[in-house]
Chains A and B, each alone.
Chain A
Amino acid sequence: MNISSGTNEMNDRSRRKLLLSAGATTTLGLAGCLDGLTGSGGAGDAVRARYIGQEPQSDWLEEQSDAFEAETGIEVEHEFLTWADVPDSQVTDIQSGVGPDVDHIASTFLPQQANAGGWVDLSELDASLPDQNAFFDQVTDIMDYQGQIHGIPWFWGPRGYLEYDPLIEQAGIDGQPDDWDALVDQGQAFREEFPDKHLYAMMGVSWELPRAFITFLWQNGGRVADEDTNEILFDSDAGVEALNFWKDLILEEDVMPSQIAEWGVDEFDGALINEDVGAIMQDLSPVDQFVEQAGADRSDFTIGRLPAGPSGDRSTFFGMEGLGIRPWSDKQEEAAEWISWLSRPDANATFADRIGLLPTVEEAFNHAAFDDELSQTLHDDVLPDARHYPMIPGLSEVEVELSGTIGTWLEEVVTGEWEDGRSAELLDEAAGVAQDLVDQAQQG
């Protein structure tokens, strides 16, 4: 072997090694990427189920899936998403057609994802699913979008008028307000006793602002949109009056603190816990927190119906979350069994109790966890008032638009920039944008 041929051989070997290394690196890299795309992170035979914001419940879910596997032989793997990741992750999954078998449904995202073919029509599925009559009517109505059943309602959170009785009684207030006038009267009586506190608060975080607005809107006889024609209606006189009443509660009547505009969830719950306000529009979720952190007793609270406006009913908003099956799943029947398992009254009640919200199965209210006065009052008095957005194409887009608009409006109110006519102007502008978004979603 001469030197020249030896060098060539070495060069060939070097080239081969370089190419081999590059190939191996690329293969490993692509395998890593594809693993994320195909979502084959778990065992191949397991049903993959994903939940939004429920990581603290992972132990309970594991317990349930162990029992489920022991009975059915079906393994379930759990994954968790934060709310911040929902839009990106769920959209990406629908785009790529890969992801978990069972996924979490947020009611306001349902029309978008249903239009995009993101959910299996459960009525077409050859699997045993819970009887629709077992659930409250309002929640099944939401899942029944455009003639298809997109999921099973899991839990919901109608807001009531939640008050801390010791403060309210000290202010000499008897009973909860039936209408807006009574709310103002009680608010002023409260201020007389507690000049540094306010009677009532609503959450000012972005996603709650449109819900607070439409609650006032419904109470004043207005409508968000027409479900048959998809026409946006929230910019009606009833809507303008609703905003102006809200503004008066803050600026004129001192019933509501202006700080709500910068409060996050913690500050909002903290306002009740720290006794800065006497009542809030909320579900029962802060009660246990109050009991744990401030040593209060559940009997110190009363929940009741929200007041009616001059032209409407005592309405309140509820958010609802459910579980559905993705169309790309090759384990749809097994996935349906898992959803059915979680919908048993006992499991439904236990889970709702753990997260401080309400079960969607009517029978679950007989569970010991809901056998207390607060829960029963909520069931008997507040639930019949509970309403949701109209399920129109582009609903979540409309909610985003309303969120920005009400945020701007509230900011102007509390910083003193609000002027006469501004409520109507902003609602009008938002309605134009919202109508365009609905039309876009409708056209496809």
Chain B
Amino acid sequence: MASAFTRLHERVTDGGLGQYLPLYGRLDEKHQYAYKLLFPALAMMFVVHFIPVVWGATISVMGVNSNYIADWTSAPFVGLEHYAFVMDPTTTIGSRYWYSISRTVLWSVGVLVGTYVLGLTAALLLNQEFKGSFFVRTLLLLPWIAPAIVTLNVWRMMFLSESGIINHALMSIGLIDEPMFWLLGDQALWSMTIAHVWLQFPWVMIMLYAGLQSIPQQLYEAAAIDGAGRWGKFRYVTLPQLKPVSGVVVLLMLLWTMIDFTTPYVMFGGSPPSSVEVTMVYIYNFSFRAFAFGRGAAMSVGLFVVAMVLATIYYRRFIRSDFEEETQ
């Protein structure tokens, strides 16, 4: 095994690919080797992520609409006109765009809270030794494994006002007197949040469960000696020890939800109720149904900036400080 690894190391280090990287010569052999291993993944990310981002940013300053579908390069340069148009809250389009951003943020925060609370609860449950824990673990992963389209359509059917099981259940226990619209009005945001939390919480659960498994038992023993009860152990040992993994979970869940298209599109289709017209759906409609690609690209760049700003603030405030503390 070791010799196979050594041979792979030699082949990669002798490949000569690294000479094209800037400052490559100043790196020590270990770091050169690491860069070479990263090269295929970085190259793929360049093609899949970087080029579309640059392309999107480029057409956001060009007048690309249905007339330039066949040859977008001949579309006129319009500078920041699209940005001014879509971000002006006094216009219909601008006000709808900002409204969609506000719905996106609200939805993302709702999903984040829901998935974290449910994921942590499930992880704590799994962390206990009990008979059938393997079965429960598998069962809890089902929402994540099942095809999202199926799950979301089932949720949609459950939320229907007349035939949906949710209203029947609420009416049978006397919580409501007549059927409610769960897929229309402000309730639609709740419905979409619940369905998305259901889809995503198993991933949070697995991440936190891994974090829980890595907490040394001695810390709980020391806390017990200091007189900590169940809550004390959770408050002063479990939560702080989960902080690094929680940081990553929160950041990723926030970003993934902000750019999620599947849940709103499957549950509500192309023209969702305004309360759930999140930015991804709005941009899609603007670009691919109204063919206003230039303006749609400007909206995408806007969402990209909002997401990056939130992520950067969060990263600096929570994640980097954790690593710095650990380093010190």
Point out residues on A near B: beta carbons under 8 Å: 11, 14-15, 17-19, 22, 87-88, 91, 94-95, 97, 112-113, 115-118, 205-207, 209, 259, 261-262, 264, 267, 393-394, 396-397, 400-401, 403-404, 407-408, 411, 414-415, 417, 429, 432-433, 437, 440-441, 443-444
Known A-B contacts A112-B66, A411-B274, A429-B92; the reply to A261 vs B11 at CB < 8 A is no
Q: Contact between B291 and A411 (Cβ–Cβ < 8 Å)?
A: no
B69 at the interface (CB under 8 A from A): yes
A267 to B153, CA, bound (A): 13
A403 to B68, CA, bound (A): 24
A97 to B70, CA, bound (A): 7
Q: Contact between B70 and A415 (Cβ–Cβ < 8 Å)?
A: no
B133 at the interface (CB under 8 A from A): no
A18 to B277, CA, bound (A): 49
Q: Contact between B66 and A262 (Cβ–Cβ < 8 Å)?
A: no
Q: Contact between A400 and B285 (Cβ–Cβ < 8 Å)?
A: yes
Known A-B contacts A14-B11, A94-B69, A397-B291; the reply to A262 vs B269 at CB < 8 A is no
B288 at the interface (CB under 8 A from A): yes
Q: Contact between A17 and B11 (Cβ–Cβ < 8 Å)?
A: yes
- Which chain A residues border B269 with CB–CB below 8 Å? 205-206, 264
B162 at the interface (CB under 8 A from A): yes
Q: Contact between A401 and B290 (Cβ–Cβ < 8 Å)?
A: yes
Known A-B contacts A116-B70, A407-B271; the reply to A18 vs B181 at CB < 8 A is no
A259 to B182, CA, bound (A): 11
Q: Contact between B184 and A411 (Cβ–Cβ < 8 Å)?
A: yes
Known A-B contacts A14-B11, A411-B273; the reply to A116 vs B69 at CB < 8 A is yes
A113 to B270, CA, bound (A): 20
Q: Contact between A262 and B65 (Cβ–Cβ < 8 Å)?
A: no
As a 0/1 sequence over residues 11 to 44 of chain B, the CB contacts with chain A under 8 angstroms (1 = contact) are 1101111000000000000000000000000000
What interface size band does chain B fall in? Answer: 35 or more
User: Taking chain B's interface residues, is the majority helix, strand, or loop, or is none over half, making it mixed?
Assistant: loop
Q: Contact between A118 and B67 (Cβ–Cβ < 8 Å)?
A: no
- Which chain A residues border B93 with CB–CB below 8 Å? 433
B98 at the interface (CB under 8 A from A): no
Known A-B contacts A262-B183, A414-B184, A415-B184; the reply to A397 vs B292 at CB < 8 A is yes
B242 at the interface (CB under 8 A from A): no
- Which chain A residues border B277 with CB–CB below 8 Å? 404
Q: Contact between B183 and A91 (Cβ–Cβ < 8 Å)?
A: no
Known A-B contacts A411-B274, A437-B292; the reply to A116 vs B66 at CB < 8 A is yes
Residue of B whose beta carbon sits closest to that of A264:
B269
Q: Contact between B11 and A87 (Cβ–Cβ < 8 Å)?
A: no
Q: Contact between B290 and A397 (Cβ–Cβ < 8 Å)?
A: yes
A87 to B285, CA, bound (A): 10
Q: Contact between A407 and B92 (Cβ–Cβ < 8 Å)?
A: no
A400 to B12, CA, bound (A): 53
- Which chain B residues border A259 with CB–CB below 8 Å? 161-162
Q: Contact between B14 and A11 (Cβ–Cβ < 8 Å)?
A: yes
A394 to B291, CA, bound (A): 9
Cβ contact of B69, chosen from A91, A264, A397, A408, cutoff 8 A: A91
The smallest beta-carbon distance between A409 and chain B, in angstroms, is 10
B289 at the interface (CB under 8 A from A): yes
A-facing residues in B153-171 (Cβ within 8 Å): 160-163
Known A-B contacts A97-B70, A397-B66, A433-B93; the reply to A261 vs B184 at CB < 8 A is yes
Q: Contact between B271 and A404 (Cβ–Cβ < 8 Å)?
A: yes
Q: Contact between B181 and A118 (Cβ–Cβ < 8 Å)?
A: no
Known: A267-B163, A397-B292, A429-B92. 5 other contacts (CB 8 A): A18-B14, A205-B269, A397-B291, A407-B272, A408-B274
A267 to B164, CA, bound (A): 12
Known A-B contacts A206-B271, A262-B160, A400-B285; the reply to A112 vs B291 at CB < 8 A is yes
B72 at the interface (CB under 8 A from A): yes
- Which chain B residues border A411 with CB–CB below 8 Å? 184-185, 273-274
Residue of A whose beta carbon sits closest to that of B156:
A264
Residue of B whose beta carbon sits closest to that of A83:
B270
The smallest beta-carbon distance between A332 and chain B, in angstroms, is 17
A418 to B184, CA, bound (A): 13
Residue of A whose beta carbon sits closest to that of B183:
A262
> 23 A-B contacts, Cβ less than 8 Å apart?
A14-B10, A14-B14, A15-B15, A22-B17, A87-B291, A88-B288, A91-B288, A113-B69, A116-B70, A206-B269, A207-B271, A262-B184, A264-B269, A397-B291, A400-B270, A403-B270, A407-B271, A408-B274, A414-B181, A415-B185, A432-B92, A433-B92, A441-B291
Known A-B contacts A15-B14, A95-B69, A433-B92; the reply to A415 vs B289 at CB < 8 A is no
The smallest beta-carbon distance between A23 and chain B, in angstroms, is 12
The smallest beta-carbon distance between B5 and chain A, in angstroms, is 15
As a 0/1 sequence over residues 270 to 295 of chain B, the CB contacts with chain A under 8 angstroms (1 = contact) are 11111001000000010011111000
